[in-house]
């Protein structure tokens, strides 16, 4: 099993400060499947049904909540281990692709703001896509596509597709790599310092801004606070990421 489940990064209680007034956090997992193509690195993107109440119509990576049966018998309280199993299961359920647990590379962890009703604390994993055709059920997932990260971001900027900030940031980072091997090597290289994003939402006028640790306005929700930036400004005409 990849990863060190004894690490402090893998203990649920350390993922985020618990707010008694916020909706309960639910463990979830996402797997970013990668393949090499003539035009460069591609990721598997899937469009959720617009009829779904949660993230309906958004383009996402395969993923979902951690189920009780995902916890290994020998690790009944290990959410990280269960998240790995969930990532493999979701790839099979949503894309009909069988991936090896040992090929998962932990990439990031995301905790949504306390203002969100459904709060999924989600591990993101990278994995090379296995051979075989992708099939979707036509229910929860309506369609799929293999796109280069830069192409997906361009479609979003043009208003053709919807996505959420964790997907956007992941694609931005993957756009820096030209091959699957490069992307996986970079992810393995930060194994001792896996990014953990606990999102705070603020407003710049009427424009929502996602703030993360290290931003000068992170604790105060003040987007005008002078100092370093680690944020995503969600302009309708195009999102803008800043990190100094």
Number of domains in the chain: 2
**103 shares its domain with 27:** yes
CATH number of the CATH domain containing 53:
3.90.79.10
State residue 17's pLDDT score: 47
Residue 32, strand partner residues: 126
**143 shares its domain with 163:** yes
Task: Tell me 62's DSSP state.
Answer: S
Of the candidates 178, 195, 212, which is a domain's last residue?
A: 195
**88 shares its domain with 184:** yes
What pLDDT tens digit does each residue of the chain (244 aa) get?
Answer: 333 333 434 444 344 445 556 678 999 999 999 999 999 999 999 999 888 877 789 999 999 999 999 999 998 999 999 999 999 999 999 999 999 999 999 999 999 998 888 899 999 999 999 999 999 987 889 999 999 999 999 999 999 999 999 999 999 999 999 999 999 999 999 999 999 999 999 999 999 999 999 999 999 999 999 999 999 999 988 999 999 9
- In the chain, % helix, strand, coil (3-state, to 5) comes to 25, 30, 45
State residue 133's pLDDT score: 93
**71 shares its domain with 86:** yes
CA-nearest of 49, 93, 48, 53 to 70 is 93
User: What's this model's pTM, rounded to 2 decimal places?
Assistant: 0.90
State residue 21's pLDDT score: 67
**46 shares its domain with 75:** yes
State residue 58's pLDDT score: 94
**61 shares its domain with 143:** yes
Residue 203 lies in domain:
199-244
**68 shares its domain with 183:** yes
> 31: which residues sit within 8 A by CB, 6+ positions away?
61, 62, 63, 87, 88, 90, 91, 99, 104, 124, 125, 126, 127
156 found inside a domain: yes
State residue 52's pLDDT score: 86
Q: What separation in angstroms does the CA of 241 have from each of 118, 170, 194, 203?
A: 24, 12, 19, 15
CA distance 70 to 63: 13
CA-nearest of 86, 94, 156, 78 to 122 is 86
State residue 8's pLDDT score: 36
State residue 33's pLDDT score: 98
> Interhelix angle for 149-157 vs 165-174, to 10°?
140
State residue 10's pLDDT score: 43
CA distance 50 to 119: 19
**73 shares its domain with 147:** yes
Task: Map residue 37 onto helix, strand or coil.
Answer: strand
3 found inside a domain: no
State residue 237's pLDDT score: 84
**129 shares its domain with 235:** no
């Amino acid at each position: 099993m990849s990863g060190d489940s004894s690490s402090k990064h893998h203990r649920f209680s350390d993922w985020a400060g618990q707010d008694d007034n916020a909706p309960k956090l639910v463990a979830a997992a996402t797997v970013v499947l990668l393949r090499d193509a003539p035009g460069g690195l591609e990721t598997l993107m899937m469009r959720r049904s617009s009829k779904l109440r949660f993230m309906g119509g958004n383009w996402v990576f395969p993923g979902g909540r951690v189920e009780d049966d995902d916890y290994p018998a020998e690790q009944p309280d290990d959410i990280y281990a269960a998240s790995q199993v969930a990532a493999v299961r979701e790839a099979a359920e949503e894309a009909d692709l069988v991936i090896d647990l040992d090929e998962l590379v932990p990439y990031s962890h995301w905790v949504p703001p306390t203002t969100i009703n459904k709060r999924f604390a989600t591990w993101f994993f990278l994995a090379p896509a296995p051979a075989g055709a992708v099939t979707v059920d036509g229910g929860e997932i309506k369609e799929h596509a293999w796109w280069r990260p830069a192409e997906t971001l361009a479609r979003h900027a043009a208003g053709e597709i919807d996505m959420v900030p964790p997907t956007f940031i992941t694609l931005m980072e993957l756009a820096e790599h030209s091959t699957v091997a490069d992307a996986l090597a970079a992810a393995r290289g930060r194994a001792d310092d896996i990014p953990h994003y606990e999102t705070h939402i603020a407003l710049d006028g009427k424009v929502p801004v996602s703030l993360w640790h290290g931003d000068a306005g992170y604790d105060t929700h003040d987007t005008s606070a002078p100092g370093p930036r680690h944020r995503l400004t969600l302009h309708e005409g195009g999102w803008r990421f800043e990190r100094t």
